[in-house]
Chains A and B, each alone.
Chain A
Amino acid sequence: MQPPLVDITGLTVDFDTGARIVRVLHGVDLAVGAGEAVGLVGESGCGKSVTWLAALGLLGSRARIGGQVSLRGRNLVGAPTSALESVRGRHIAMIFQDPSSSLNPVHRVGRQLAEALRLHRDMDADAAMVEARRLLDRVGIADAPRRLDAYPHELSGGMNQRVMIAMALAGQPEMLVADEPTTALDATIQAQILELLQEIRRDTQMALVLISHDLGVVAENTDRVCVMYAGRVIEDAPIATIFGAPAHPYTQGLLAALPDLEGPRRRLTTIQGVVPEAWNLPPGCSFAPRCDRADAACAAAVPPSLALAADHRAACIKAVPQPAPAAGRA
């Protein structure tokens, strides 16, 4: 097995809020192979985006980052800014949730695209504009020459996300981190954008990390899923395993909360309780207070990530791979 493209081990992030220091990532372990498509799911605030923002050094000065993020063996944590700048966009590109506010409102789309091209591909202004037009074509924007002169507010959210994707492609990265790329878009546009990402992946062999809270989106677009809860990866398995035989009670709860498209109508299951605050985590398993299976051992120590199969890990001492409860009931 070849070494992963990006290997995150024991990644921690602490935010200095001024009043106190809050740990939001508690040692994230996550590996993404070259060309692989990995989904990262979890509730808001569980650390999905922070993981990748930390990896690229985009969290700003109030964040303290520990652990390791190795890109082809090169550690990015604590690397000098110039090293991180040469990774961003060129090796790992990132697109964001709200495309319309991720583009600079005072610059034309073409200029913003050309900026990335000149930066990463050493093009002069004219060559960059030609390539920018090709990229807009590539991401399915009709009438590309005219769109180059448009400002972001003149384009729809879906089109702006296509522009963001084109911009990400400008650096010909090995990996694209898509942070909830379709959350702000309506359902039809969402499908088109995901389709576009698939198509680009087929063409370029680029790895994809798809951050989402939508299990369905992740299921259709990735090979493997990492489930995060309260700043840790609690389960990591191929799509089929996650949906067929999830092992962590939290994953099982998430799946049970999905509505069925077929079969008799049933009341949706919810996970009892709420996610603990980042500064007030229980000493043991952070899911224990909400878990049916929890006992004294769960509350005593943070459960290690256990290998249940070669490609399946779960951080639960009571992990039992089994179909989601709802699937059994339905």
Chain B
Amino acid sequence: MMRYLAGRVLRGLFTILLVMTFAFVVLRLSGDPALLIMTVDAPPEAIAAFRTSWGLDRPLWDQYVTYVLRAAIGDLGNSMRDGRPAIELVLDRVPATLAITIPAFLLKIGIGVPAGIYAALHRNSLADRLTMLVSVAGFTVPSFVLALVLVLVFSVKLGWLPSSGSETLAHAILPIVTLGTAGAAVIARFTRSAMLEVLGQPYIRAASAKGLTWRRVVTDHALPNAAIPTTTIIGFMIGALIAGAVVVESVFAWPGVGRLLVVAVANRDLAVVQALLIIIAATMVAANILVDLVYGWIDPRMRTRHPAGAQ
């Protein structure tokens, strides 16, 4: 078990290194930050001084090695805009993002899982068809469209909720609902198909043949098995807790990680963009490891199949 976990963590670190490298290459390819941050008509000496102070005049490989080694000790550089450590800027924004993504996450599970189970148990009923119709709408409508529709209805027409900002609790409601809707729709579909798959298995009929009530067949035999595939999709959503709200935060002017990303990219604030990507990659990797551990816990077949599955 420890060997397995160590292997997973190592692989995760490698993934993060890949993301860092990718971020480094793409950001260096996409333009000169010195020219963007300094104005075009700045004197050449000032631009040169800016380059020197940020190390942009050194050879690329040198910049890369420095960047990776510093990252390894937790130093992700300073913002080129206000000079504060990039990691601090990012971490400052995390609570605001979590304030909408965590309630949205609970909303997704709280609505998606029961809706999926209900639809599967009443397959082809009116309720099933309706649930699936709503669910298709829920995840095909892009979140910025849904966000605008919600603003139009609840802020402009009804005047119940504020359309943007983050001053009060009421400000969080529309972003949470926007985020939660698409996720709930995805989880509902996934849960439904997982349940249908499980309900068709021979052990479900065998459990009924034993004399168990249908209710107990569902709770004791179907649900634990359907939880296995559903865990995958929920795990992805945990990975997206930090980075999954870029669009929604932009629409609602919510001061979270997503908005920081948009602003930092627009400003070519290299260190901040890199720090964001690393944090986002790290949460995704951590969520994946978590999913694997949960798999081992809920599916006994996983435990024996990969006794030391580091490969």
Contact, CB under 8 Å: A102 / B208 = no
On whether A89 and B209 interact (CB within 8 A), knowing A106-B299, A153-B301, the answer reads yes
A192: CB under 8 A from chain B? no
- Per-residue CB proximity of B214-250 to A under 8 Å, as 1/0? 1000001100110010000000000000000000000
On whether A104 and B225 interact (CB within 8 A), knowing A81-B214, A154-B304, the answer reads yes
Task: Point out the residues of chain B lying under 8 angstroms from A90, CB to CB.
Answer: 211
| Distance A34 CA – B210 CA, assembled complex (angstroms) | 20
A94: CB under 8 A from chain B? yes
Q: Min CB distance, B301 to chain A, in Å?
A: 5
Q: Which residue of A lies closest to B214 (CB)?
A: A81
| Distance A53 CA – B214 CA, assembled complex (angstroms) | 15
Contact, CB under 8 Å: B201 / A101 = yes
Q: Which residue of B lies closest to A105 (CB)?
A: B301
Contact, CB under 8 Å: A85 / B211 = yes
- Per-residue CB proximity of A70-94 to B under 8 Å, as 1/0? 0000000000011001111110011
Residues 72-129 of A contacting B (Cβ, < 8 Å):
81-82, 85-90, 93-94, 96, 98, 101-108, 115-116, 119-120
Contact, CB under 8 Å: A104 / B209 = no
Task: Point out the residues of chain A lying under 8 angstroms from B212, CB to CB.
Answer: 85, 115, 119
| Distance A93 CA – B213 CA, assembled complex (angstroms) | 15
Residues 115-133 of B contacting A (Cβ, < 8 Å):
none
| Distance A320 CA – B212 CA, assembled complex (angstroms) | 47
B43: CB under 8 A from chain A? no
| Distance A85 CA – B299 CA, assembled complex (angstroms) | 29
Contact, CB under 8 Å: A153 / B211 = no
Contact, CB under 8 Å: A106 / B300 = yes
B298: CB under 8 A from chain A? yes
- Per-residue CB proximity of B153-187 to A under 8 Å, as 1/0? 00000000000000000000000000000000000
Q: Min CB distance, B192 to chain A, in Å?
A: 17
Q: Min CB distance, A165 to chain B, in Å?
A: 12
Contact, CB under 8 Å: A120 / B211 = yes
Q: Min CB distance, B289 to chain A, in Å?
A: 21
B81: CB under 8 A from chain A? no
Task: Point out the residues of chain A lying under 8 angstroms from B224, CB to CB.
Answer: 104, 106-107
What's the interface size class on B, roughly? 20 to 34
Q: Min CB distance, B302 to chain A, in Å?
A: 10
| Distance A108 CA – B224 CA, assembled complex (angstroms) | 13
Q: Min CB distance, A139 to chain B, in Å?
A: 16
Q: Min CB distance, A107 to chain B, in Å?
A: 8
| Distance A51 CA – B255 CA, assembled complex (angstroms) | 65
Task: Point out the residues of chain B lying under 8 angstroms from A87, CB to CB.
Answer: 211
Task: Point out the residues of chain B lying under 8 angstroms from A306, CB to CB.
Answer: none
| Distance A114 CA – B203 CA, assembled complex (angstroms) | 16
A28: CB under 8 A from chain B? no
Q: Which residue of B lies closest to A179 (CB)?
A: B209
Q: Min CB distance, B87 to chain A, in Å?
A: 42
Q: Min CB distance, B118 to chain A, in Å?
A: 15
On whether A153 and B300 interact (CB within 8 A), knowing A81-B214, A105-B225, A120-B211, the answer reads yes
Contact, CB under 8 Å: B210 / A88 = yes
Number of residues from A at the complex interface, CB < 8 A: 33
Residue of A104, A106, A171 near B211 (CB, 8 A) is A171
Task: Point out the residues of chain B lying under 8 angstroms from A93, CB to CB.
Answer: 209-210
Contact, CB under 8 Å: B202 / A98 = yes
Q: Which residue of B lies closest to A93 (CB)?
A: B209
Contact, CB under 8 Å: A56 / B304 = no
Task: Point out the residues of chain A lying under 8 angstroms from B58, CB to CB.
Answer: none
B206: CB under 8 A from chain A? yes
Contact, CB under 8 Å: A115 / B213 = no
On whether A96 and B206 interact (CB within 8 A), knowing A106-B225, A153-B301, the answer reads yes
Contact, CB under 8 Å: A101 / B298 = no
Q: Which residue of B lies closest to A171 (CB)?
A: B211
Task: Point out the residues of chain B lying under 8 angstroms from A153, CB to CB.
Answer: 300-301, 304
Q: Min CB distance, B291 to chain A, in Å?
A: 17
A228: CB under 8 A from chain B? no
| Distance A90 CA – B210 CA, assembled complex (angstroms) | 8
A167: CB under 8 A from chain B? yes
Contact, CB under 8 Å: B301 / A96 = no
A237: CB under 8 A from chain B? no
Contact, CB under 8 Å: A89 / B211 = yes
Task: Point out the residues of chain A lying under 8 angstroms from B203, CB to CB.
Answer: 101-105
B207: CB under 8 A from chain A? yes
Contact, CB under 8 Å: A119 / B301 = no
Residues 148-176 of A contacting B (Cβ, < 8 Å):
151, 153-154, 164, 167, 171
A58: CB under 8 A from chain B? yes
Q: Min CB distance, B205 to chain A, in Å?
A: 6
Residues 279-311 of B contacting A (Cβ, < 8 Å):
298-301, 304
| Distance A106 CA – B219 CA, assembled complex (angstroms) | 13
Beyond the given pairs A94-B209, A106-B299, A120-B211, 17 more chain A to chain B contacts, judged by CB atoms under 8 angstroms and listed by A's residue number, are: A58-B205, A89-B209, A89-B210, A89-B211, A90-B211, A94-B206, A102-B206, A104-B203, A105-B299, A105-B300, A106-B225, A106-B298, A106-B300, A107-B220, A119-B212, A153-B300, A153-B301
Minimum-distance CB pairs A-B, first 5: A89-B211, A102-B206, A88-B211, A151-B300, A94-B209
Q: Please list the residues of chain B having a beta carbon within 8 angstroms of any beta carbon in chain A.
A: 201-203, 205-214, 220-221, 224-225, 228, 298-301, 304
A-B contact list, 12 entries, CB within 8 Å = A58-B205, A85-B213, A87-B211, A88-B210, A89-B210, A96-B206, A103-B206, A104-B203, A104-B225, A105-B225, A119-B210, A171-B210
Q: Please list the residues of chain A having a beta carbon within 8 angstroms of any beta carbon in chain B.
A: 53, 56, 58, 81-82, 85-90, 93-94, 96, 98, 101-108, 115-116, 119-120, 151, 153-154, 164, 167, 171
